[in-house]
Structure formats: structure tokens, C-alpha cells
Amino acid sequence: MSRDTALVSADWAEKSLGAPGVVFVEVDEDTSAYDAGHLPGAVKLDWKKDLQDPVRRDFVNKSQLEALLSAKGISNDDTVVLYGGNNNWFAAYAYWYLRLYGHRDVRLLDGGRKKWELDNRPLTTDPVSRPRTSYVAREQDHSIRAFRDEVLAAIGAKNLVDVRSPDEYAGRLLAPAHLPQEQAQRGGHIPTALNVPWSKAANEDGTFRSDDELRALYTGAGLDGSRSTIAYCRIGERSSHTWFVLHELLGHDDVKNYDGSWTEYGSLVGVPVAVGDEPGEAT
Amino acid sequence: MSTSVGAGAAAAAAAGCGAPDQAVALPAGVDLTKETVIAGVVTAAESGEPVSGAYVRLLDRDGEFTAEVVTSPAGQFRFFAAPGSWTVRVLSRAGAGTASVTADRGVTEVAVSVAAD
């Protein structure tokens, strides 16, 4: 994987609007953004309603995903270009999710909705309908998804990267500051986790920093490139952004996203938790 | 751009750094004895008009990104933060702007005006 196969520029995207075999997909936390104006021809995915099981805390299963993508008019052979608000957090999450289910050609629009809007590029409220397809997903590829026991075993053994803001890492905030803070779980981070906020990987307009800048960022933070890495945040969306950087842009071999993230780990009984600005020790 | 000017523009023009009087409605169930809310309105420096669809970032005392929201049709934004010093940084089609704010529990209002470079 590399920048050339994983990322597209806004210029490329604007020229490719309506091109056969290219499907633009907007993924948001709040889908009213799509409804108020989207890239011409883009379909929408709701990261929660479409991608999460409505009862259990887990993803929709293979056949549910097949039904969803078929209804959206997405084929196995299509190039899927994802974009969204929140600096592409949920678009990156959907990127990781579609890779998890084996979609071959997925791209992220560099800068997402924000750069597109700031550039004054075209948005429309025209309804979009694409002919139904018969999408066939693969079984989940767990080489890119981490579960809690694996995360516990990784303390002191693998790189753990906490990509939340420094205040969330330290336990001073429990959620990003656009959300209410009242939550049940404990504050802090997984002992030994490095804090490399996702935002350090992006420019102010939401585009990714250069490969050289990204390499310097993680090396400087003490990430040992020879070890396996698990990234986490609060619910796995910002860590998808960092997973994308490490695995897709920089080509690190073994990088997993822990989608349970702090909302799971910080509510587990008996697990070690570190508070404050230091990573803490493996015990 | 929104044309529903009125109070926000007048307040910004009259007071400069004064708090905007268009408070953002809080969601039900928010406990202001526990939450530290930073809220305000983004206006264009030249016209005084509120700027909708602006990208507003909350940066912590070290300038580190904490959150980002998009302003409402009336140019409003809101964050749930913690007591302390913060910076509000705005990018929009009407230009960029920055404001500093010291917040405590309850609602702290901050006005940000944006201008092209």
C-alpha cells in the first residue's frame, strides 16, 4: 500500500465525478451533512445505522454488508472513494471496515469534506440512485482488527498507540470536546501506550502530511517500526485514521485497529489503567 | 452565506470582543455544574455577518487539536471542554481567525471574526 493506491486528491476526485467504475461514498457521524449537499453522484453511509449491529456492540455481518452495498449500487470491482466530515474520521473508519470485509480498491479523498468545501468545489442536493448490484463480501480479515484480550496481551509486547487528544490520554477529558463529557468509564490510557494524536498526522485543512513528515512523527514519538502496532481511540474512528497512515500510507506490516477502544477498555473490570501524561509501565 | 444578520453582527460591531448574545441551545440533560461549555459565533470581519459552515477547532493550552465542529446557519459553535485556557481556530471560505478563551464550568462565550489573508 502507498499514497498512490490509497489516497486521491480533490483535483483527481473532481475530474472523476461520474466516471464509470468509481463510486463516491460520503460517510458521516451526522448524515444531515450529506443531505445538505454532497459530491455529485455520491451515495451515503451512516457509520452507525448502516455499519453497526443494532443490538450487540459489533459490526453488521457479512450478509448484511452485502445487502447494504448491493442496495447502494456498489460492485466488487468498483473503486470506492470515501470522504466525510470530522477530518475524514468516519470515512477512514469505513475505509478500514471495507478492507476488513475484503473490498479490493478503496481510496480516501485527501482532506475530505472540509477541503472540498474550503476549495469551493461542487456540492449538490440532487438525489442519487445507482442500479442495484450483487455484492459479495469476504469473511472479516482479523489481521487488521484487534480485540480486547489481544490488547491486554500487547501491553509491554507491542506498540500501543493512543491517538486521542492529550487531555483524553491523560484522563482529563473522557471524550472529544464536541461531545458531552459525562460518561461511565474511567479516564486514562492503556499502560505503555504512546500518545500520538491523530491530528498530528493531518494538516489544518484535513489533508494528510507528507510521508516524510509522517515517518518523522511516529519515529520521534518512539514508535518501534520493527514491532507490531495496535491503534486505539475512544470508539475506533480516529484510530482508523492512524491505522490508515501507518498501514496504508507508510506501509507498516502489522497494524491493527482496536475498535472497542477506550469505551470498552476503560470500562473493563480489573485491567491496568495509566493516568497522566506519561505512558506508564507494564506490570 | 447566511443573511439572517441582526443581533450577532450588531453585538460584534458594538463590542468587538464582547460576548455574542445568540447563545447556542444546549442539548437536554447537559449538567452545567459539571460541563465546561465554550460557545460562540463566527462573524466575517468585513461585513459583520455570521459565517455558516465554518470549521471551528478547539486547541488546548499547548496548541494541540481537541475537537472540531462546523458552525450552524447562524454562525454558532459549541464545545464541551474542561476548565482552563483554550484557543479557538476558525477556517472558512470567508477567511481564517483565532481567539483565546479561559473557560470555567458553565458556559463561556467567545466571539471569533474571520478575514481573508
Fold assignment, A3-118: Oxidized Rhodanese; domain 1 (3.40.250)
Inspect the interface and report whether the beta carbons of B68 and A87 lie closer than 8 Å: yes
Q: Indicate the range of A117-121, B17-21, B58-62 predicted with least confidence.
A: B17-21
Q: What is the ipTM of this complex?
A: 0.79
Residue B13 pLDDT:
36
Could you tell me the residue ranges of all domains in chain A? 3-118, 148-265
Mean pLDDT, chain A, integer: 94
Please give the interface size between A and B, counted as residue pairs whose CB atoms are below 8 Å apart: 67
Q: Measuring CA to CA, how many Å separate B92 from each of B22, B34, B56, B75, B108? A: 20, 31, 9, 11, 23
Q: How confident is the model at residue A44, as a pLDDT?
A: 96
Q: Which residues, in sequence order, are CB contacts of B20 under 8 Å at separation 6+?
A: B7, B8, B11, B12, B40, B41, B109, B111
pLDDT tens digits for A56-76? 999 999 999 999 999 999 999
CATH of domain B7-23+30-114: 2.60.40.10
pLDDT per position as a tens digit, A203-247: 999 999 999 999 999 999 999 888 999 999 999 999 999 999 999
pLDDT at B49: 95
pLDDT at A182 (0 to 100): 55
Q: Check for a shared fold between A3-118 and A148-265.
A: yes
Check if A179 contacts B (Cβ < 8 Å). yes
Architecture of the domain made up of A148-265: 3-Layer(aba) Sandwich (3.40)
Note if A233 is an active site residue: yes
Q: Are A265 and A271 in contact (CB under 8 A)?
A: yes
**Cβ–Cβ of A180/B80 closer than 8 Å?**
yes
Among the partner residues A172, A178, A182, nearest to B69 by beta-carbon distance = A178
Q: Over the range A86-95, which residues count as b (16 or more CB within 10 Å of their CB) and which as e?
A: bbbbbbbbbb
pLDDT reading at B15 higher than 90? no
Mean pLDDT across B16-39: 68
Please report the pLDDT score of residue A181 as a whole number. 61
